[in-house]
Structure 1
Amino acid sequence: MSIAIVGGGPGGLTLACLLRLHGMDAVVYEREPSRAARGQGGMLDLHVDSGQRALREAGLEAEFLAVARREGQDQRLLDHTGALLLQEDTPDDAPLLRPEVDRADLRDVLLGSLPEDAVVWGRAFRHAVPRPEGGHTLHFADGSTAVCDLLVGADGASSRVRPLVTDVRPFHFGVNYVEIGIPDIDRTHPDLAAVLGRGNYWVMGPGQSLSAQRNGDGRVRVYLGFYTPEDWFATCGVPFDDPARARAALAELFAGWAPDVTALIRACDDSVITRPLTMLPVGLTWPTTPGVTLIGDAAHLMPPAGEGVNMAMLDALELALALVADPGDPAAAVARYEKEMFERTAPVAARCVRVTEVMMAPDGAQRILRFFQGHGLGD
Structure 2
Amino acid sequence: MTIAIVGAGLGGLALARVLHLHDIEAVVYEREASRGARGQGGMLDIHSGQRALREAGLIDEFFAIARGEGQDMRLLTPDGTLLLREDTPDDAPLLRPEVDRADLRDLLLDSLPEGVVRWGHAFESAADGVLRFADGSSAPYDLLVGADGANSRVRALLTEARPVHIGQNVVELCISDIDRTHPDLAAMVGRGNYWVLGKGVSLAAQRNGDGRVRIGISFYNTPEDWFTTSGIPFDDPAAARARLIDLLAGWDARFTALIAAADDTVVPRAITTLPTGLTWPSKPGVTLLGDAAHLMPPVGEGANMALLDGALLGLALAAHPGDFAAAVREYEREMFDRTSTAARESAKIQDLLMSPDAAQRLLAFFQPG
Which residue, out of 178, 191, 196, partners 1:198?
191
Q: Is the partner of 2:115 in helix, strand or coil?
A: helix
Which residue, out of 227, 231, 238, partners 2:225?
231
Code of the residue aligned with 1:287 in structure 2: it is P
Structure 2 match to 1:19 = 19
Shift of 1:104: 1.3
Q: Is the partner of 1:255 in helix, strand or coil?
A: coil
Code of the residue aligned with 1:260 in structure 2: it is R
Code of the residue aligned with 1:119 in structure 2: it is V
CA distance in 1, matches of 2:29, 2:282: 23
Taking structure 2 as the reference length, what is the TM-score of the superposition?
Answer: 0.98
Structure 1 match to 2:172 = 179
Structure 2 match to 1:323 = 317
Structure 1 match to 2:83 = 85
CA distance in 2, matches of 1:153, 1:374: 39
CA distance in 2, matches of 1:39, 1:348: 27
CA distance in 1, matches of 2:225, 2:179: 36
Shift of 1:374: 3.5
Code of the residue aligned with 2:116 in structure 1: it is A
Taking structure 1 as the reference length, what is the TM-score of the superposition?
Answer: 0.96
Shift of 1:328: 2.9
Matches within 5 A, 1:136-215: 136-215=129-208
Once the two structures are superposed, residues 259-278 of structure 1 have per-residue CA deviations (whole angstroms, 9 ceiling, x without a partner) of 11110011101001110000
Q: Does the 8 Å contact 2:155/2:292 carry over to 1?
A: yes
Shift of 1:175: 0.3
Once the two structures are superposed, residues 324-377 of structure 1 have per-residue CA deviations (whole angstroms, 9 ceiling, x without a partner) of 1111321011011111111111121011111111111111001001101135xx
Q: Is the partner of 1:335 in helix, strand or coil?
A: helix
CA distance in 2, matches of 1:342, 1:354: 18
Shift of 1:217: 0.9
Which structure 2 residue ranges, 5 or more long, are not aligned? none
Q: Is the partner of 1:39 in helix, strand or coil?
A: coil
Structure 1 match to 2:55 = 57
Identify the range of structure 1 (88-97 vs 33-42) with the bigger mean alpha-carbon deviation: 33-42
Which residue, out of 356, 361, 364, partners 2:350?
356
Which residue, out of 97, 100, 103, partners 2:101?
103
Distance 1:169-1:268 versus aligned 2 partners, 3 A rule: same
Shift of 1:186: 0.4
Shift of 1:161: 0.3
CA distance in 2, matches of 1:292, 1:328: 14
Q: Does the 8 Å contact 2:171/2:216 carry over to 1?
A: yes
CA distance in 2, matches of 1:220, 1:214: 5
CA distance in 1, matches of 2:19, 2:9: 16
Q: Does the 8 Å contact 1:319/1:337 carry over to 2?
A: yes
Shift of 1:66: 1.0
CA distance in 2, matches of 1:231, 1:36: 31
Q: Does the 8 Å contact 1:254/1:261 carry over to 2?
A: no
CA distance in 1, matches of 2:102, 2:323: 36
Code of the residue aligned with 1:79 in structure 2: it is T
Q: Is the partner of 1:16 in helix, strand or coil?
A: helix
1:310 aligns with 2:304: yes
Shift of 1:65: 1.0
Code of the residue aligned with 1:65 in structure 2: it is F
CA distance in 1, matches of 2:322, 2:180: 58
Structure 2 match to 1:346 = 340
Shift of 1:111: 1.0
CA distance in 2, matches of 1:234, 1:290: 43
Q: Does the 8 Å contact 2:284/2:324 carry over to 1?
A: no
Q: Is the partner of 1:29 in helix, strand or coil?
A: strand
Q: Does the 8 Å contact 1:79/1:365 carry over to 2?
A: yes
Code of the residue aligned with 2:106 in structure 1: it is D
Which residue, out of 253, 262, 268, partners 1:268?
262
Which structure 1 residue ranges, 5 or more long, are not aligned? none
Which residue, out of 250, 253, 257, partners 1:256?
250
CA distance in 1, matches of 2:198, 2:348: 17
CA distance in 1, matches of 2:195, 2:189: 9
Structure 2 match to 1:30 = 30
Structure 2 match to 1:292 = 286
Shift of 1:290: 2.9
Code of the residue aligned with 2:180 in structure 1: it is R
CA distance in 2, matches of 1:334, 1:223: 37
Stretches of 4+ aligned residues off by more than 4 angstroms? none
CA distance in 2, matches of 1:39, 1:360: 28
Structure 2 match to 1:334 = 328
Once the two structures are superposed, residues 81-117 of structure 1 have per-residue CA deviations (whole angstroms, 9 ceiling, x without a partner) of 1111111011010000010111111111111110111
Shift of 1:209: 0.3
